[in-house]
Each structure stands twice: as structure tokens, then as C-alpha cells.
Amino acid sequence: MGGLVSQIACGSHHTLVLGSSGQLWAFGSGVKGQLGTGNTEGSLRPTSVLLTRASGGEASVIHNDMKISVGWNSNFIYTAESSEREQPIGRLDEAKLQKWLTMEQGNAEAQREISLMFSTSSSLVASFTKASEIPQAAGALTVDLEAASQVFDQLLNIPWIRKSVNIVPLVENLCIAVAVIKSPEIFLILPTISLLHEDHSVMNMVMTLAVFISNHLNKTALKTLKDWWSSLEPSIMTKHILMWKNALSFLLRNGLLTTHNPGVKLLLQLLKQLHKANKRAGSIQKVPASTFYVEEIICSVIPLEDVKLWRFWSTREDTEETPVIFCRFPFVLNLICKMAVFNIHAHFTKVNYYST
């Protein structure tokens, strides 16, 4: 590469190298466009990358100010920006945050800035990417979820900002760009946004995310996501659980169990994955088992019928027509439901024993 190296950052299957002269190099897999060469071809040799401004044109930066950070299939190159330099589109910084928080009423510029921040997964991930002098291992979590959660809580407590935030296009774009997801960290950030815990977000956003993660996320990214879940702090794990649990509660409260049978199954499966991740986490990080309880089940599901379904389908292969069976997901049942299921199952077992 014709010089000394100042920084190295590794993604899942690609690597960035920043030379001491400020030249950026990339090599490895380019299937997601992560090498920044303009195509999807990989390279075993370091390839020079032309840095450009977000608005176009070659970037002019001071190399000793530059920092590089790498996500799963994404890259972020940023500097200690002066007023003469340009911030990446949509990326949040402390000055911008404080400006928004101190405004009683937002103006057109602030509303545009907020809209840009929530417009793409790359903008949100870049806003909370940790700055680190130490090279990160491939698959390491590089976003500060605690900081993201705190910022979102601050922003959404201000009425004009809350009205300016629209996450629907971002979620829709994730589904459209399923083959080229560059920042899977977005699936860790989104559940920390309280708007996604509200009823109006269930059908058009949370259910869309459930389908995407369960049916369209590739196996490698899904495995990494599960590993990241196991490393979440309790406060962040709780927000993840609540987003999926609140969606399930919404469907049950509104009598949608039968009509949305596939969707209910997806939500239960995602909660099951989080439950497993919580069990894998260290004892200090575990959230209480009661966090998973879905109280609406006791009013929406007849325990006797659920146990009958459980016993019937336990000896048969599942099909698309298999109904939701809550006994298969005991971690969402509160203690009253668990006792009812235990007693009913014990009764059937006793009857079968004496009848044979």
C-alpha cells in the first residue's frame, strides 16, 4: 500500500485500512457493495477507495482527524468536523441534539434534519456508532444502544419533534432492500424507539419487521443478531421484549388471534429467541422472567382448548394450518395460566392412564 497504516477495522467478511497519509483501502467480500468501489466484486488485495462527500464530489479532509468504523456490511468514515467540513447526511452529533432539545418549536431546517436522521438505517447506525481507537473483531457490536435509547427518549418527549419523526419509510425501505442490508445493527436500534411500542405502530411497522427478520434476513445476519441479543444490557433487552410483546398484546386485545394466526406465530417465535438469549446471558444481565408474561392471554385463550390443541398436535407434523398453541411457549404464560395448564394436562394424563 506504499506507506504506514494508522487504523484497521474489520466487518463480517471485509476489512478497511486507513493509511497514515489519509488514503483508504478496502479488501475482502464486496457482495453487498461494502468495499466502496461502486460494484459488488470482492478483492483479495487492498483496493484504493475514493472518499466522497455525501452531497457529491471528492472529500477534502485532514487525514489525522479521520476515524474509520465498520459494521456487519457497512462502513463509516468520519472526522473531528470543523464548521468548514460537512457532516454525513442524517448523522446526529451533540451540537445538533442540544439545538433540537432547546427549541420550543421546530423550524423547517430542524424538521428536515430530524427527517433525514430517521430516513435510513445507515443514518441511525452512524449516529450511534462507537468511536474506538482499538480495532473491533468481526461481528462485534459497534453501536451504543444505551446512548441511542436515551436520545430517543429525550427527543420523543418533545411534541414538535415527536410529530417530525416518521419511521414508516425506513421500515418499508428495509423490506425493499432485503438483498443489500448494509447495517443489520438497525434491528437492535429500532426497538429502543418508544414509538414502536405503541398500538398505532403494530400493523404497519412492528409486524413488518417481524416478517422481515423471521423470513427474509439471511442466516449469517440472523445468527449475528441472536449473538448480539445475548449481549444486551437489561434495560435494552427489556425494550426489545416489550416491542414484540406489546404487538402480541395488541392482536389479542383486538380479537385478531384467528385472522392473524401467522403473525402471532412470528411474534411468539421472536419472543422465544429473546427468551433463549436472555437465558444465555450472564446472571447479572438477565431480565426477570415476568418481563415475558403476556397478561392478555388469560382473557383471550381458553386453557382447556389450548391444552387439547397441544396434545393433539404433539403427535402430528405442523402445517400452515396449525393454529397458535400457547402451551408451546410457556415463558409468555403468567403463573395463573401455568397452573391452569398444569392441572388440565395432569387431568388428561390421569384419565388416559386409568383408561388403558
CA 215 to chain centre: 15
pLDDT tens readout for residues 94-104? 999 999 999 98
- Segment 130-156 shows an average pLDDT of 82
- Segment 69-87 shows an average pLDDT of 60
Whether the predicted pLDDT of 179 surpasses 60: no
pLDDT tens readout for residues 106-118? 898 999 899 989 9
DSSP code per residue over 297-344: HHHH--HHHHHHHHHHHTTS---TTPPP-GGG-GGGS-HHHHHHHHHH
> CA 202, CA 211: separation in Å to the nearest integer?
12
Min mean pLDDT across 62-66, 174-178, 288-292, 333-337 is at 62-66
pLDDT tens readout for residues 33-69? 888 877 888 888 888 887 655 444 444 444 456 778 7
pTM: 0.74
Query: Is residue 223 within 8 Å of residue 211, measured between CB atoms?
Result: no
The pLDDT of residue 81: 45
The pLDDT of residue 61: 46
- Segment 65-78 shows an average pLDDT of 75
> CA 57, CA 59: separation in Å to the nearest integer?
6
Query: Is residue 322 within 8 Å of residue 283, measured between CB atoms?
Result: no
Whether the predicted pLDDT of 71 surpasses 50: yes
- Phi-psi domain of 181 (left: phi exceeds 0; alpha: psi -120 through 50; beta: other): beta
The pLDDT of residue 16: 86
> CA 76, CA 213: separation in Å to the nearest integer?
24
- Segment 283-289 shows an average pLDDT of 81
The DSSP symbol for 185 reads: T
pLDDT tens readout for residues 196-248? 999 999 999 999 999 999 988 888 888 889 999 999 999 999 999 999 999 99
Higher pLDDT, 77 or 341: 341
What average pLDDT does the chain have?
A: 85
